[in-house]
Amino acid sequence: MTAAANQNGRRATASRRLERAGIRDVAAAAGVSITTVSDALNGKGRLPDETRSRVREVAERLGYRPSAAARTLRTGRSGLIGLTVTTYGEEPFTFTEFAYFAEMARAATSAALGRGYALVVLPASSRHDVWSNIALDGTVVIDPPDQDPLVTELYRSGVPVVSDGKPGNCPVTAWVDNDHEAAVLNILEHLSEAGARRIGLLTGTSTDTYTRLSTEAYLAWCDRVGQEPVYEAYPAHDPAAGAVAADRLLARPDRPDAVYGLFDPNGTDLLAAARRYGLRVPDDLLLVCCSESDVYANTEPPITTLSLKPRRIGTTVVNLLIDAIEGVDAGTGTATGRLFPPRYRTAGTGPPPGTLMPTELLVRASSQRRTPRTTVSPPRAPGEG
C-alpha cells in the first residue's frame, strides 16, 4: 500500500502505455514490496506460505513475466551456452552437414535443455558480430585448432570453454574426445585378424585433432608391425576429392588389401572405386570407414563402420560445461556455489581435465572374409577394362 505509490511514481509520470506488467506492478497490486515479490516468485527469502501464494496469484492474474534481460544483467547468468566449430572456418554451417556434427549438436541441445539451459549455434566468425551481441554463460567449441583466437578470447574474458576434441594449445576449461588412437589400433587389429596383409588409409589434409591423431596412430602402428604406410590424403571439405582419393589409393602399385577411411563418404567412394577396379569386397578388399550413417547397413555389401558416438560426446561436453558454469565463477576464480554447489570435481590448476570416450566398431560384412551367408554369385569379370 504505502509502497505502491512510491514504486509506481516513476511509471505513473511516464506515458500511459499499455506495457507488460513489471515486478513493481505486481508489488503494488499485492500490497507488498518488490523484494517480497521477487522472493516469493523465486522461492527465496523467508516468507510465510500465505504471502508467497498470494503474490504468485497476483502475478498470475497480471500476466507477469519477469524480464529475462534484466535478470541476466543482474545475475550475470543468461542460461545460454554457445556451440561452435572453428576449424572449418569461414563458411558457416558446412559442418552441420556432417552427420557427426548434426547428431552431436542435437544431443548437446537436448542435454542443455535438460539442465535448464538453451543452446545456440554460432559460426566461428560472421559479418555481424553475433558473438558480442549475445550473453553466453559458456561455450562448447568443436575441434579448436592450435592457438585458436576465438577460444583464447573467450577464455580470457572469463567464459568457460569446453572443447570437443583435445585442444592443441588453447586454454580450455575442460575437454572431451574420443580415444582415436585406441579406435584406430582396434580397427587395424580387426583388419589384420580378418587377413589383411597391407592396410591402407584414406585420410585428410586438414590439421584437426581427429585427422592428426588418427593418422599418427596409423603411422605408429605401421612402424611397429613393419608395414610400409599406404595412404592418400585429401581435403575433407571437398566431396568430389574423396572419390578421387579413393580411386588413387586403389590404383597404386602397392595396392592395399584393406582400407580404413576416416570420413563418412569414404565407404561408398571406396566401394565404387573397388567396383571399377574389379575388386570384390570383402574378398579382395576389406573395408572400414568412420561414419554415423546407417546407410552402410544396407549397402552391398554392408560396410563396417566406426562410430564416434557423437551423442555421448555432445551430452558429456555440455554437462561438463554446465558443471563449470555452475561450479565456480570463472572470472575471479572465487567459488560462489551458493545455489549450485559443484557436483562434479572442479579443475584446479594444471592442464585442463580431459575425458576420453570410447568409440564403437560396428562390424559388418565388408571387413570379414568369411561371411555367414553363403553366396551364389559367380566370380565377377574384372571391372571396366
Binding residues for DNA, rule: CB under 7 A, are: 2-3, 6, 10-11, 13-14, 19-20, 22-24, 31-36, 38-39, 41-42, 44-48, 51, 64-67, 69-71, 73-75
The per-residue DSSP string of 47-63 comes to --HHHHHHHHHHHHHHT
Judged by CB under 8 A, the residue of 19, 146, 223, 238 near a second copy is 19
The CB-of-161 to a second copy minimum distance in angstroms stands at: 15
Tell me if 177 sits within 8 A of 199, measured CB to CB: no
The CB-of-132 to a second copy minimum distance in angstroms stands at: 6
Q: Which is nearer to a second copy, 69 or 225 (CB)?
A: 69
Judged by CB under 8 A, the residue of 2, 13, 133, 375 near a second copy is 133
Return the C-alpha cell found at 355.
575425458
The per-residue DSSP string of 10-48 comes to HHHHS--------HHHHHHHHTS-HHHHHHHHHT-S---
The CB-of-355 to a second copy minimum distance in angstroms stands at: 24
Query: What are φ and ψ of residue 162, in 5° steps?
Result: -120, 135
DSSP 8-state secondary structure symbol assigned to residue 297: G
The CB-of-349 to a second copy minimum distance in angstroms stands at: 18
Contact stretch for a second copy (CB under 8 A) within 105-113, 142-150, 169-177, 352-360: 105-113
Show contacts with a second copy in window 269-328 (CB under 8 A). Answer: 295, 298
Q: Which is nearer to a second copy, 68 or 363 (CB)?
A: 68
Query: What are φ and ψ of residue 181, in 5° steps?
Result: -60, -50
Contact stretch for a second copy (CB under 8 A) within 61-69, 160-168, 312-320, 357-365: 61-69
Alpha helices in the chain (DSSP H): 2-13, 23-30, 34-42, 49-62, 68-75, 99-114, 130-133, 149-156, 180-193, 209-225, 239-251, 266-276, 310-327
Sheet with 360-362, strands from edge to edge, namely: 230-234, 199-204, 258-261, 286-290, 304-307, 360-362
Residue 218, number of CB atoms within 10 A of its CB? 25
The CB-of-30 to DNA minimum distance in angstroms stands at: 9
The per-residue DSSP string of 219-242 comes to HHHHHHHTPPPEEEEE-TT-HHHH
Q: Does 365 bind a second copy (CB under 8 A)?
A: no
Judged by CB under 8 A, the residue of 3, 31, 54, 79 near a second copy is 79
Find, among 309, 263, 254, the residue nearest to 288 by Cα.
Answer: 263
Q: Does 66 bind a second copy (CB under 8 A)?
A: yes
- Partner whose binding site includes residue 217, from DNA, a second copy, none (CB under 5 to 8 Å by kind): none
Q: Which is nearer to DNA, 67 or 126 (CB)?
A: 67
Q: Which is nearer to DNA, 49 or 90 (CB)?
A: 49
Judged by CB under 8 A, the residue of 26, 55, 104, 122 near a second copy is 122
Contact stretch for a second copy (CB under 8 A) within 52-60, 151-159, 160-168, 207-215: 151-159
The CB-of-38 to DNA minimum distance in angstroms stands at: 4
DSSP 8-state secondary structure symbol assigned to residue 212: H
Element (H, E) at 80: strand 80-85
- Partner whose binding site includes residue 126, from DNA, a second copy, none (CB under 5 to 8 Å by kind): a second copy
Contacts of 71 (CB under 8 A, 6+ apart): none
- Partner whose binding site includes residue 116, from a second copy, DNA, none (CB under 5 to 8 Å by kind): a second copy
Q: Does 67 bind a second copy (CB under 8 A)?
A: yes
Residue 348: CA atoms inside 13 Å, Cβ hemisphere, count?
A: 1
- Partner whose binding site includes residue 128, from DNA, a second copy, none (CB under 5 to 8 Å by kind): a second copy
The per-residue DSSP string of 253-265 comes to TT--SEEEESSTT
Show contacts with a second copy in window 85-104 (CB under 8 A). Answer: 92-93, 96-97, 102
Tell me if 356 sits within 8 A of 297, measured CB to CB: no
Q: Which residues pair with 354 in a beta bridge?
A: 175
By CB under 8 A, how many residues form the interface with a second copy?
52
Give the three-class secondary structure for 140.
strand
Binding site for a second copy (CB under 8 A): 17-20, 63, 65-73, 76, 78-80, 92-93, 96-97, 102, 106, 109-110, 113-123, 126-128, 130, 132-135, 156-158, 295, 298, 331-332
